[in-house]
Amino acid sequence: MEQLIVKFINQDASIEELEELLKYLSSEENVDLFKTYVKINYYSIYLMNDFDNADILNELKKKIEQEKLKQRSKTRYLILLKYAAICVVLVGIGFYVNIISTFSKAPVPIIPKEDKVTLTTSTGKMIILEEVKNEMIDKDVELVNTKDELVYTNKDELNNVTHKLEVPYGKRFNIVLSDGTRVYLNSGSELTYPVTFESKDTREVMLIGEAYFDVKSDTTPFLVRSNAISVQVFGTEFNFLNFPEDEVSDVVLVEGSVGIQSDFSKETVKLLPGQIGKVNKQDYKVETERVNTNVYTSWINGEVVFRNERFSQILKKLERLYNVTIINNKMETDDLFNASIDLENESIEEVLSYFGEIYNIDYQIFKNKVIIN
């Protein structure tokens, strides 16, 4: 079977061999082995996952029958079917590296995955926010959910009640905490917070991803923790970017005053309005500089600005913003790119078209996957 799979991948399988392979693929275990071999040879193109076993078998049968009808010779040895193998890969599996560009000849829409904004309560109950409006949950906590914002209306002190808000790729969501602090969460981010702030010493929340904080002024400090980094603030507005995969975490201060700390240093680095604090996750040293804060905060209004960013960084952000998978096959460069995206009015197809025209980037589309060739 291994030899047959290799011949199939190399486009050297005859009809007889394709039929033999078809018999093997009647076993689900053999189909899994087949997929493994394919992914090893074309590991970065995993569109195989979009087809189930029945699709593969049906397309293989169809192509074998088509090629049989085309045969004019009745000789004992059948003609090798390189093009038949190509058709099987293209139609039945949809991922062959050099042929997949066929998908880009016609305007093919990208179909983002539909994930939901969810809220997890202290009891472990998970709520899909798009499916509720006003609801009493978790020890008589009332939620008021609008289209893109969650507001807590119950201001009574509730001990040990913590919620976690998770925003999937392709969506943004806001929350108004019990003290009046408004938090804007970007795609792929989550915030863990108490329903009411119990401590008189500090108001503390946990962030993974990116969020813009408009902190309600109070005598009690507001603390945002994110992995090994924390930002302490009083009444202020700032943007905090810290995804686990990021090499550098950014804190951009719009107004007020913040102090940046890490678990690996006792030093507190204070920012002034209009400054960015870059935390290098290798040594957790903080570098500060003056910036145009709009470049870092405009995403809350639906506009994303890339300034002097590596292409790999841009692709990762596009995955989060549009909830698609981008496979970077060959595009490796240290060049820095600039772009501006209107998330409300520009689709991922238009963004990719922009990069294709300006930077001569070739790509193909299949469902919710984009392949950079």
Low-confidence ranges of the chain (pLDDT < 70): 9-12, 36-114, 132-147, 153-159, 199, 330-332
What does the H/E/C string look like for the chain?
CHHHHHHHHCCCCEHHHHHHHHHHCCCHHHHHHHHHHHHHHCCCCCHHHHCCHHHHHHHHHHHHHHHHHHCCCCCCCCCECHHHHHHHHHHHHCCCCCCHHHHHCCCCCCCCCCCCCEEECCCCCEEEHHHCCEEEECCCEEEEECCCEEEECCCCCCCCCEEEEEECCCCCEEEECCCCCEEEECCCEEEEEECCCCCCCCEEEEEEEEEEEECCCCCCCEEEEECCEEEEECCCEEEEEECCCCCEEEEEEEECCEEEEECCEEEEEEECCCEEEEEECCCCCEEEEECCHHHHHHHHHCEEEEEEEEHHHHHHHHHHHHCCEEEECCCCCCCEEEEEEECCCCCHHHHHHHHHHHHCCCEEEECCEEEEC
pLDDT at residue 43, rounded to an integer: 39
Q: Which domains are present in the chain?
A: 2-98 (no CATH), 118-297 (2.60.120.1440), 301-372 (3.55.50.30)
> With a threshold of 0.85, does the pTM exceed it?
no
pLDDT at residue 71, rounded to an integer: 56
pLDDT at residue 122, rounded to an integer: 82
pLDDT at residue 89, rounded to an integer: 41
When the pLDDT of each residue in the chain is averaged and rounded to a whole number, the result is 77
